Amino acid sequence: MQMNWRAGSGAAVCVVAMLVATAWAADPVPRSKEQAAMTNELPKTDAEWKKVLTPEQYRIMREKGTERAFTGRYYQTKEKGDYVCAGCGQVLFASKEKYDSGTGWPSFCGTAAPSNVTEKADTSHGMARTEVLCSRCGAHLGHVFPDGPPPSGLRYCINSEALSFRPAAKPEAGGSDR
Ligand SMILES: [Zn+2]
């Protein structure tokens, strides 16, 4: 009888402890929100974008600036791979459409996928141009002009700062792409 009483009492203490632990765990947890922002969610406010972009990237991508010609990272890049949005990682352009336009900015005669970029009339600075933006995060990328090489006749003139280059996987040992 004595033994049973003690066992019951111990179990009751245990249940109380579990309830307390559960109540603490169910508290509003800002930590889980933070983790979601880092994995999937894009920044929404100007302040949030300032945290994830460099000042130069912010000026170009969120304030529609332009980098100086012949100064960007990628205007001379010829390696095979994909150019993804520096803001959100969406694939925007492929190396096979890149060509040397001589302008000092990375130039492409087409996009990796038409739905990945948004084109918008831009009449700023007294010019009639077509602005190119990332369709996922709305970043300003550059402009598209109708003076590119055939067959498309298009020249996507893009700021290096808005791009991040992902080199294609190296060919298997023994293989060759020449
Ligand atoms: Zn983007």
Sorted by where each starts, the structural domains of the chain and their CATH numbers stand as 46-167 (2.170.150.20)
Q: Which two structure tokens, joined as six digits, stand for 67?
A: 């980098």
- Eight-class DSSP state of 42: P
Task: Please say if 88 is a catalytic residue.
Answer: no
How far, in Å, is the centroid of ligand 1 from the Cα of 40? 13
Residues 86-102 have pLDDT tens digits of 999 999 999 999 999 99
Residues 47-85 have pLDDT tens digits of 999 999 999 999 999 999 999 999 999 999 999 999 999
Positive or negative, the CA dihedral 3, 7, 12, 14 is: positive
**Residue tagged active-site, from 109, 134, 137, 157:** 157
- Is the overall model pTM greater than 0.85, yes or no? no
How far, in Å, is the centroid of ligand 1 from the Cα of 91? 9
How far, in Å, is the centroid of ligand 1 from the Cα of 134? 5
Protein residues within 5 Å, CB atom, of ion ligand 1: 85, 87-88, 90, 134, 136-137, 139
Count Cβ atoms within 10 A of the Cβ of residue 86 and give its class: 0-12 exposed, 13-18 middle, 19 or more buried: buried
Q: Which two structure tokens, joined as six digits, stand for 167?
A: 């080199």
pLDDT-derived band at 161 (thresholds 50, 70, 90) equals very high
**Strand ranges of the sheet holding 91-94, from the earlier edge strand across to the other edge:** 91-94, 81-85, 163-167
Helix residue spans in the chain (DSSP H): 2-25, 30-39, 46-52, 55-61
Of residues 155 and 27, more confidence is placed in 155
How far, in Å, is the centroid of ligand 1 from the Cα of 92? 8
